Structure 1
């Protein structure tokens, strides 16, 4: 389980890097009954172990938007979300993921001095979920005022989300962690699909296509909770709608040259290099762009 949420949040912070699993086929979203909150949370955690194990997040796409020459756009942010009026753990957890993605977007563009209000909103949501103790908000604020400390700020943000994920799952509230991941992914997907409308780019197009694999994992992650309440049913339906637009997108991977060897945590880590091929028509991309915008805007409107 360790590292799962790290990879997820890092994918958000880096804005759509290659987050993928092994070449498993898509599966339909199946709504299952839950005998109890504890049993459902345990099922979700077990599913996540398998789903996220093979995800990767190469750093080479960290600055993709900047390389493309895409300017910062305030309109992409979920400014309609008001943490002060959000109630209920579902809305708070989902919004925490969405605003976490927004904070990552601000940080990547060096808009750290303007992120303080967003940090305040995240603090309110975290405290509402009783996980505020995992955010060092004073340090985050201090780093936000100093653009030269961006790496430290990103690390601190990722570390905070890691600790929250672990705590929620140990506290039999894994469904809240899944909501955070869902909110973060949908918001990051929204950024990418909005950018590609104005700035067509083959690399970004492939990154969007590759999200089919991450979406499969996300659906499996929330699947055990789909019958928990009407809000989860609606979210599961939304994810199913996006998945339908990805149905005919084809992604294949070919192993590349010499594996990359790196030393990590005192051990040798070997990463097999590979190349991907995404087959996605303009019509399929347009459908993904449209449904992503619809779902994301419904989520921030409902909250």
Structure 2
């Protein structure tokens, strides 16, 4: 199982920082129906942009927070999965999927410092964890440690990796290993849903938002490989088929890195790049957003 994706998976669940988003200069929309992040070589040469790490394009809470702040996106109470819905998640699969979803919702609430709502979602997360027989401290302990080491990416990765292995081992000992895969899946679906619903304006797309959504192409490929570990669970197989359908939209475009700009850190299994070139149609963006909404609606439904 991929070590970095394992780390990224728990980040979705416990809503913590992995890497900072580097803001870029505004880039050109080249037609009404096509969006491109391509910059001419001369423009790149004149733009001092530090290289940043891409952990398979994961949409992290801090990254999303930075974009929300820059775009002045207001809090939307209707975007989250209501805490009342948790009472309906009686099966282990539904509880696991929505534990991942509530974890991402918690990170959204933290962006706006809504303490009363944060408390409600923490209670729900604890309730679903208990329903799945996951000790609460498996989630709360790493969160407390990570919040004290937010500026140290290596420490965060180490803590997250250790925490996920702890949860996965616990579930495996109780013959419920697929629960971990469903938690990851739910978190990824929610992160994509929130980002495409609140941040993506397909009529006037923001370059950074488009690139972050496009980079889910990498995450989705890794997620599909990750879920192969749990094909003995029919629920995992069911959602994998849906992810493969979503993948068709991501396969409509390619992402290119400049020569000598891409570095591969094989030890950490991350990509380091200054930027990427891609051209994606607004139709594809619409399709990704609409299918993400459809998948999320089914996941939170009874």
Q: TM-score, normalised by structure 1?
A: 0.68
Residue number in structure 2 paired with 1:300:
300
Q: Which residues of 2 match residues 5-16 of structure 1 at below 5 A?
A: 5-10=6-11, 13=15
Using the TM superposition, give the Cα deviation of residue 208 of structure 1 relative to its aligned residue in structure 2, in angstroms: 0.5
How many angstroms apart in 2 are the aligned matches of 1:192 and 1:136? 24
Query: Is 1:193 aligned to 2:196, yes or no?
Result: yes
Residue number in structure 2 paired with 1:123:
126
Higher deviation after alignment, 288-297 or 81-90:
81-90
How many angstroms apart in 2 are the aligned matches of 1:197 and 1:269? 29
Using the TM superposition, give the Cα deviation of residue 139 of structure 1 relative to its aligned residue in structure 2, in angstroms: 11
Q: How many residues align?
A: 255
SS of equivalent to 2:87: coil
The CA RMSD measured in Å over matched residues stands at: 4.1
Q: TM-score, normalised by structure 2?
A: 0.69
Match of 2:243 among 239, 246, 256: 239
Structure 1 unmatched ranges of 5 or more: 20-52, 144-148, 262-267
Residue number in structure 2 paired with 1:276:
276
Distance 1:81 1:286, change over 3 A: farther
**Contact residue 16 and residue 188 of structure 1 kept, 8 A:** no
SS of equivalent to 2:73: coil
Deviations 1:21-77 (A, max 9, x none): xxxxxxxxxxxxxxxxxxxxxxxxxxxxxxxx9747698835221122111211110
Using the TM superposition, give the Cα deviation of residue 108 of structure 1 relative to its aligned residue in structure 2, in angstroms: 2.3
How many angstroms apart in 1 are the aligned matches of 2:16 and 2:139? 21
Query: Is 1:89 aligned to 2:92, yes or no?
Result: yes
Structure 2 unmatched ranges of 5 or more: 22-53, 151-155
Residue number in structure 2 paired with 1:36:
none
Using the TM superposition, give the Cα deviation of residue 5 of structure 1 relative to its aligned residue in structure 2, in angstroms: 3.2
Q: Which residues of 2 match residues 1-303 of structure 1 at below 5 A?
A: 4-10=5-11, 13=15, 55=56, 61=63, 63-79=66-82, 82-135=85-138, 151-152=147-148, 163-169=166-172, 172-198=175-201, 200-226=205-231, 228-229=233-234, 231-254=235-258, 272-302=272-302
